[in-house]
Amino acid sequence: MNTDELIALLAHDAGPAQGPAPRQVGGRLAVALAVCVVMVLYLGLNPKLSEFASTSVFSLKMVWLFALLVFSAALVYRMVHPGRQMGNAPWAIGLALLAMGGQGMSQLLQAPVPQRSALALGTSWQVCTLNIAFIALPVLAALMWTLRDMAPTRPGLTGAASGLLAGALAAMFYSLHCTENSFTFFALWYSGGMGLSAVVGAVLGARFLRW
C-alpha cells in the first residue's frame, strides 16, 4: 500500500469533527449560571437595587457589559472555527473599554478634587475585581469544557476571549450586589475583574485547549 492509498483509506467516509451537542452545552452553562446566582446571593443583593436599576448610570453600565459580552462571544465563536478571521470583534471590545475609560476620566476631572478619591475607590475597591473574577470561574470552566471538544487554533487567545466573556457575564451578576455608581469605579475595577478573568482564561486555554 503506497502513501496515497493509505491517505485515501483513512479519509474514507470521514466527515467534519462534531462539536458538543447543544443539550450538553446548554446543560453545562445552566449549571454554571446557577452557581453564579448562588455566589451572588451569598454576597447579598443590593438592598437598594430597585432604586439603582432605575438610574442612567446603572443602565449604561449594563449596556456596556452586555456589549462586551456580545463582542467577546462573537470573538470566541470565530476562533473555534478554523479559517475564520477575528473580524471586528477585537476593535469593538477595545472601543467599549475605551468608551467607559473615557467616561470615567471625564467624570473624575469634572468632580471637585476632594471627591475624586471616592469616585475612583468607592467603598469596595478592595474586593470588586476579585469578586468579579471569582464569579466568572464557573462560566469559564463550562466554556473550557465545551471548547475542548471544538477546534480552536489559537488556544491562548481563545481562552482569553472566553475569560473576557465569562468576566462580562460575572460583572453583570455582580451588579446585583454592587452599591457603586461611579463610571470611574467601573472603568477601573470592573475592567480589572474582567481583565483578570481574561488572564486566567488565557493561561487555562494555553494548557487545556491544545489539540
Q: What digits encode the pLDDT tens for the residues 109-130?
A: 999 999 999 999 999 999 999 9
What pLDDT shows up at residue 87?
A: 84
Residue 99 has pLDDT above 60, yes or no: yes
What pLDDT shows up at residue 39?
A: 95
Residues 153, 64, 58, 43, Cα dihedral to 10°: 10
The domains of the chain are located at: 52-208
Cβ–Cβ < 8 Å for 36, 177: no
For 167-177, the pLDDT digits (tens) are: 999 999 999 99
CA–CA gap between residue 164 and residue 132 (Å, rounded): 11
Residue 18 has pLDDT above 70, yes or no: no
CA–CA gap between residue 85 and residue 3 (Å, rounded): 33
pLDDT band for 14, please (50, 70, 90 cuts): very low
Cβ–Cβ < 8 Å for 129, 180: no
148: Cβ–Cβ under 8 A, 6 or more apart, which residues?
208, 209
User: 84: exposed, middle or buried (C-beta count within 10 Å: 0-12, 13-18, 19+)?
Assistant: exposed
What pLDDT shows up at residue 80?
A: 86
